[in-house]
Structure 1
Amino acid sequence: MKNKTFWIFGLLTLSIISITYGYTKFLHVSKKEAAVQECHETPNLSDSSEFKPTIENKNKPTGKTPKGMVWIPGGEFSMGSNVEDESLCSIKGVTKDAAPIHRVYVDGYYMDETEVTNEEFEKFVKATGYVTVAEQKPTKKEFPTANEEDLITGSVVFTPTSSAVNLNNFLQWWRYEPGADWRHPEGPQSSIKGKDKYPVVHVVYEDAEAYAKWAGKRLPTEAEWEFAARGGKSGNLYAWGNDLKPKGKFQANIYQGHFPIKDGDTGEDGFKGIAPTKQYAPNAYGLYDIAGNVWEWVHDWYSVDYYKSLAESDKITRNPQGPDAYYDPNDTAEIKRVHRGGSFLCTDQYCTRYMVGTRGKGEIRSAANHVGFRCVKNK
């Protein structure tokens, strides 16, 4: 199997979602290095006056709210982020794709109050016989250089390192795991038994879209997602306010401790790894886990300069559907759509994209154990 290593790492590269930022920071290896790496509970911000008040629609739906969903009124708001650093440890410049802040209007809609759970996804699979991409054997067309025996089902799983590592190489803490899928999130020996209320993971964009269609729903646009996450508030850092830990308590399932070392997650927020839904207070619109736990697929293609193009129009953009195509000059090989919300692996040392206006991105046919989704429905 001389091509096995090449093929698996090729697929792994495709499958690392939303975190391929090429950082050069180090973890806390020594007291000297720890002193150099400045971490703060408040990020560096540009001018907050860029945010204008949110103007919610006053119209309310006349029908009954669908089970498990909440009403999002829609309206006009300031979209984007004025956070200057990628992390609270002063990694510079990576949130530029979430700038500039611009005005957007969205119509009202219903939104799932939680990420889609294993229980809900299982009902879909039983009703339709659907097979996720992670459960499908890769083809020679997708990976022409791979040997046939190397074309095996699987997905990408976070794997902590044995010691502190340089954060500029994400391949150190991810592995392609044969047999990993939504039913077996850590590999073939794992299961979701007893985890009905956990968010489903190892789903790619087309899996999420297929579920949404079956459920009579759709994936939210990026603008709809952010309007809902902000909960009617303007310019807050987080879905719950501007303090990471109000009254000393975490409000989302994110990573605390030394990333990505084995046993490095202290679980100060109550969980080490993924958590069941509804473990933290909802935001002002009644949405749970809109930050942390798992990344969420949204409808829009990812384009690094999309916000710039909207801002340059100097108009309020109504119900934006995203750019016409994917665009990232730093990575032209992979076709990506937007992720939102961050995950249980987001850490102040590496990725703080649980901040409400920031963005992620994912290759459309790649899955991992920190990516899920939620749906919306027109009134």
Structure 2
Amino acid sequence: MTPRRIVFVGPTLPEQRRPAGCFEYRPPVKHGDLFDLCLRPGDQVLIVDGVYQHYAPVRHKEILAQLARGVHVFGTASLGALRAAELADFGMRGLGEVYAEARAGRLVADADVAVLHADDHAGARRLTEAMVSVRHGLAELLRDGQLDTGQAARLEQAAARLHFTERSATGLRHTAGADRDAMHLLLDHLDRHGDVKTRDARHALDVLAAAPVPPPPAAPGTTDIWSSSYGREWDFEHRPLRPGSAVGARLALACLQLFAADFPERHRAYTLRLAAATTGRTGSAGLLLGAAGFAPATRPHARLARATEATAGWDADERLLARTFRLPPGRLVYQDLPAEAVAGSTLEELEERCLRLLLPASATALPTPHRHTLLRQLWQAGSDHEYRLCALERGFRDTAEAARLAGAFDLALVARLLHAPAAVR
């Protein structure tokens, strides 16, 4: 299979300046995008631009997870250069002048490479100038004798006083005061010759296009080397149910947890299997709890062992194990979609079911209190404590997680289906 070459780029390199051919262009990278791609060993990713103010930025663990899988990850010009400098010792490769400055410690702030841009069809049109571009432009004009050191210093100070969202051509001219003509010279220079970020991005693309795709790097001893419970959770939340699916794996599991009448049974089977694998023991839930260092339930009607409508036929130890189960180190209940959860359905059937129940993109999710009310009705929970038990025995960490995930679904439709529960199983 031909390795993929993916580039996350926006205002640093306008669409009309991007070389065609072997690259797959995507908008500036944000948190979860690398997991969403389902990358394979040998694939290449070049990060140029990324978002970090209105969306969560790409995390270092996301990049490390791809490196551990044998993906080649490069960074240049903007946020990519900063991440490459931070992760160079772990296998991410940097290209260009901005990367060199960041690696040398002369550039450390995200704000120095940040710009305001319009997310339009022309390829995220840039509206302001990055501070790193201003500094490089001034250095080039100073070197060519078009500015003196005093002018360059004053212009840099004037630009630095502006927030990156205000560093437009108009804003820079206004703040330059008596040096307005010199500022105009700088802006004209950046417009005619391109800023350092744009040059770096084009250079990186030329380098990657000219070089053959290298084989996957030697894999570390385990692909779990940079793993954490948060990284595994992010991966699960952003990974498609199957390649090309419009439904994420975590959302598919949530659909089952929330709406499958028999999901507590599936969850019990899952916890029994993993508890047995972890302890190296087989047997009853009580034996597994004891082997894990926990006391079995001594009182069948204790608060966490109390029966609900769905668990009336279980013994107290089974209810206790299912409701308290956590994966090491103790935060997550699920980090994948196990066979027990799917329980006889194909991924295609599960995808179709989720798509039918998902909230339309143009619709607004129900307020959180309404979600809690509907879930209590759906799970036949008569009290707050019973509602909590129902959430736990369905594999949620708490009722808040259940309500948050329920916000992705058309709960008005679910309410109409309450009298025909087989329709949502």
Q: TM-score, normalised by structure 2?
A: 0.21
Q: TM-score, normalised by structure 1?
A: 0.23
Structure possessing the higher radius of gyration over alpha carbons? 2
More helix by share: 2
More strand by share: 1
Higher relative contact order (CA 8 A, sep 6+): 1
